[in-house]
A and B are shown apart, each in its own frame.
Chain A
Amino acid sequence: SLELAQPPSVSVSPGQTAKITCSGDTKHFVHWYQQKPGQAPVAVMYKDTERPSGIPDRFSGSSSGTTATLTISNIQAEDEANYYCQSADGSDSYVFGSGTEVTV
């Protein structure tokens, strides 16, 4: 079954760029969710590169081969959160990555 590997943690200084990778042999789009403590997740990227309305343009996504990447440019303190990637495994189930804790 599909596994999506993410780095456990990423630490960056304010104003710098954070890159979070999601590696796995999925043939499907990857989505990204941000989760802050005590809150439900919020989507920050759909289908590899589609930013939802209301998400700042410092969030961007890309995909190459078996790795999808979420990039947060000019990172702000409010971006500190856990980030999860998600994709499909075959035609009927979904898988989430293990999550990356981003510290600013």
Chain B
Amino acid sequence: EVHLVESGGGLVQPGGSLRLSCAASGFTFSDHYIDWVRQAPGKGLEWVGRSRNIANTFRTEYAASLKGRFTILRDDSGSSLYLQMYNLQTEDTAVYYCVRGRNGFNSGFDYWGQGTLVTVSS
């Protein structure tokens, strides 16, 4: 059974950094695109970025609005994905979801983690 479990969320001050983790199980991790999607309190879904699969050399891509503050790291041996976030702002406050792409680019997301809450506040 496929599972995605996020961790690492919490309270951080503006300008701070935080690293989120996504532990995957139940499937061949390297075969899938894995993305991060976030949702601010009471707001809609926003795509954050992705790590493509091994066939696409694990290339990473990000939402332009993040302006280079976020980095996605992938550990295939441990079936884990990380979201390193720098210079956090109050508008980054959100639940962050780790999601699995079904099969290639824009094929849809078939599994979502439960999410981890990041709160940026002084």
Contacts and interface: CB of A to CB of B under 8 A. Distances in A.
Nearest to A35: B45
Nearest to A28: B106
B109 A93 contact: no
Interface in A46-86: 46-47, 52, 82, 84, 86
Contacts of A46: 102, 107-108
Interface of B: 35, 37, 44-47, 50, 61, 63-64, 97, 102, 105-110, 112-115
Given A96-B47, A99-B45, A40 B114 contact: yes
Given A84-B44, A96-B45, A42 B112 contact: yes
27 contacts: A1-B64, A29-B106, A29-B108, A31-B106, A31-B108, A33-B45, A35-B45, A40-B97, A40-B112, A40-B115, A41-B45, A41-B97, A41-B112, A46-B102, A46-B108, A47-B108, A52-B110, A82-B44, A84-B44, A86-B45, A86-B108, A87-B106, A88-B105, A91-B105, A96-B45, A98-B44, A99-B45
B63 A93 contact: yes
A43 interface: yes
Residues of A contacting B: mostly: strand
Given A29-B106, A46-B107, A93 B47 contact: yes
Contact of B47 (A29, A40, A42, A94): A94
Nearest to B44: A99
B45 A43 contact: no
Nearest to A99: B44
Contact of A94 (B106, B110, B115): B106
Contacts of B61: 92-93
Contacts of B107: 46-47
A43 B108 contact: yes
A33 B102 CA distance: 14
A88 B106 contact: yes
Nearest to A6: B44
